[in-house]
Amino acid sequence: MIRIALIGCTGSIGRQTADVVRRYPERFCFSALACGHGGAAFEALCAEFSPAVALCSEGGFVPPAGTRTLKEGEEARLFEGCDVAFIAAGGFAGLKYTLLAAEAGKKIALANKESLVCGGELVMRAVREKGLDLVPVDSEHSALFQCLAFRRDAPFSKLVLTASGGPFYHLSREELARVTAADALRHPTWNMGAKITVDSATLLNKGYEVIEAKWLYDADFSQIEAVVHPESIVHSLVCFEDGAALAQLGYPDMRVPIQLALTYPERLPCEKPLDLPALGKLTFLPFPEERFPCFSLAIAAGRAGGTLPTVLNAAAEEAVHAFLGGRITFPMIAETIECALGALPRENAESYPQLCEADGKARSCAAQYLLSHGK
């Protein structure tokens, strides 16, 4: 029985992780459940899975008998009785939990991109020092992990991340200026939370994934490429010195990388085997960097390192929130990020409090920009 501490249990990845546990109750259970904003969904999950401990950051929920409620400041206790820390919380908020799980010496299944985008240096240092098992859940990085035979230190010449291209791949700059939040939320292939769906539309998400790949596989930025693949069947590829390339294929269903992260190298059955004749053909298109500045901003911040990826992310979180609320246009997401990156200097990222400070400053900077430029 694998005991899972699931952080971010009411989000899209959290709910699909609960699906996997439901499907294999003899293999998995939850030792801890945590979320930011819980409500009825959190109470229902706690009632169904009876975790030993539960934490809802906004508070105000009634745990079932036998479940102990943790308070703010007791987050480290979430990982006491688990075999795997499954970090599915969204945004910068997830980094704290990844660092706590690392400190507790646990195996980490990582679905929170920001942990590596913002805290890559800190997380990888802890992973190295403690010899921890860090397993990617993001579909692209799970694909790379599989193509590298479940190793993060295997040799390769290039990593190729596939991208659906999002809903706006074919739009011109003029058309992009007029898209709405509702348009951005219509993702062609993946069903995800609102923030990441908008990040897929701006292609910021792919920039994040390049940074994630850099940390996970100790790659140089020059070794990582992105290509558009609208069908989202090939989840990523690894190219080798001799010209050979290995790809991982499957339908876009996050439950596959979720369950693999928990059981690898063992694989559990999933309901939908690939039907190649039904798919007919797969297409690959150039990555449209010039029309989607968020991607290049992410790569530049990733290359610069230090606190700048945290600045990028904080500004993006604020801007996407404003875009979802109808307060700014789509191109203003990139403009807000650019403004914050221009206003705040790069500092070394040696500690979590340092990153929190950079995060706070970037949020105020972005908020100011949004206030003066928004509708």
Say if strands 134-136 and 224-228 run parallel, antiparallel, or are unpaired.
unpaired
For residue 142, which of 227, 50, 42, 259 has the smallest C-alpha distance? 259
DSSP letter (8 states) at residue 346 = -
Q: Return all residues near 32 (Cβ < 8 A) that are at least 6 apart.
A: 4, 5, 6, 51, 52, 53, 54, 55, 78, 79, 81, 82
Least Cβ distance, residue 108 to Mg ion (angstroms): 17
Least Cβ distance, residue 138 to Mg ion (angstroms): 4
Least Cβ distance, residue 71 to Mg ion (angstroms): 33
Nearer to Mg ion, 80 or 221 (CB): 221
For residue 68, which of 25, 118, 32, 106 has the smallest C-alpha distance? 32
Least Cβ distance, residue 89 to Mg ion (angstroms): 16
* Spatial distance between the Cα atoms of 223 and 240, rounded to a whole number of angstroms: 11
With beta carbons less than 8 A apart as the criterion, state whether 99 and 130 touch: no
Nearer to Mg ion, 187 or 363 (CB): 187
Torsions phi, psi of 369, nearest 5?
A: -60, -45
Nearer to Mg ion, 122 or 144 (CB): 144
Least Cβ distance, residue 190 to Mg ion (angstroms): 8
Q: Give the CB-nearest residue to Mg ion.
A: 138
Nearer to Mg ion, 140 or 338 (CB): 140
Contact residues: Mg ion, CB under 5 A: 138-140
Least Cβ distance, residue 181 to Mg ion (angstroms): 21
Nearer to Mg ion, 212 or 338 (CB): 212
**Residue 254 is which amino acid?**
M
Residue length, the chain? 375
Least Cβ distance, residue 342 to Mg ion (angstroms): 28
Least Cβ distance, residue 295 to Mg ion (angstroms): 14
DSSP letter (8 states) at residue 222 = G
Nearer to Mg ion, 226 or 328 (CB): 226
- CA 162 distance to own-chain centroid: 15
* Per-residue tokens: 266: 């063992």
Nearer to Mg ion, 113 or 152 (CB): 113
* Spatial distance between the Cα atoms of 369 and 237, rounded to a whole number of angstroms: 39
Nearer to Mg ion, 138 or 359 (CB): 138
Rg (CA), the chain: 20
* Spatial distance between the Cα atoms of 85 and 76, rounded to a whole number of angstroms: 11
With beta carbons less than 8 A apart as the criterion, state whether 54 and 67 touch: yes
**Residue 235 is which amino acid?**
H
